[in-house]
Amino acid sequence: MNEGRFITLEGLEGAGKTSRAGELKAFLERRGKRVLLTREPGGTALGERLRELLLSPTAEPMAPLTELLLMFAARSEHVIQVILPALAGGQWVLCDRYVDASYAYQGGGRGLGEAPVAALEALLPARARPDLTLLLDLPVEMGLARAKGRGPVDRFEQETLAFHQRVRDAYLTRARRWPQRYRIIDASADPETVRGAIEAAVEPLL
């Protein structure tokens, strides 16, 4: 059986990742692929419990390094229990956030820099590297306004504009450094246009 492909979706809060991920799953299924849609932090029972700790606005304060280690604790379980078995079984894996989010939020937003994230990434199996990463990019103010319009904010959404600007800058820096793996999608456009851009970016893998 052929191995599946591993596609990740990244972006600021309010970029529309989650809706676009659902549409991309349907698109791939119409093209005959078996698709697993999953998310980080989360994707396993343990990962979803860690997600609650990480996202709850009333969570105890934690040091940036602790936050990074908890993200990778959830990720390790997710890779071993879910992502690698799915790829080996021929499924396509669509993941709503992955390692790039740690570079952007903990490395950029929290100011840890790339080195601690790279050290942890190096512990993941080589096959757990995405084949394609779609960065849904939009101005910070627009993303946060959309995120706040959809209900209570989580621990990251309540961060400052400057924090989210650092997150965006870190994502864009990575995407420009490795253009073969990343596609930058303009998420400020209307949903149909964004969807078309995503399908065009995925087409070469099909």
Which range touches ligand TMP (CB under 6 A), out of 34-42, 125-133, 169-177, 194-202?
34-42
Burial class (CB in 10 A: 0-12, 13-18, 19+), 166: buried
Which x/- pattern over 75-114 shows residues binding ligand TMP (rule: CB under 6 A)?
---------------------xx---xx--xx--------
Please, which residue, 32 or 61, has the CB nearer to ligand TMP?
A: 61
Site mask for ligand TMP (CB under 6 A), range 148-167, x = bound: --------x-----------
Interface residue with ligand TMP among 5, 20, 39, 183 (CB under 6 A) is 39
- Binder of ligand TMP out of 14, 20, 40, 77 (CB under 6 A): 40
Please give the Cα distance from 139 to 172 (Å, whole number). Answer: 12
Of 102 and 133, nearer to ligand TMP (C-beta) is 102
Q: Which of 41, 43, 130, 143 is in the footprint of ligand TMP by CB under 6 A?
A: 41
Q: What are the φ and ψ backbone dihedral angles of 39, each rounded to 5 degrees? A: -150, 160
Spatial CA neighbour of 121 closest among 149, 102, 95 = 102
DSSP string covering 105-157, please? IIIIIS---HHHHHHHHTTS-GGGS-SEEEEEE--HHHHHHHHHHTSS--TTT
CB 5 within 8 Å of CB 205: yes
Positions in the binding site for ligand TMP (CB under 6 A):
13, 39-41, 55, 71, 96-97, 101-102, 105-106, 156
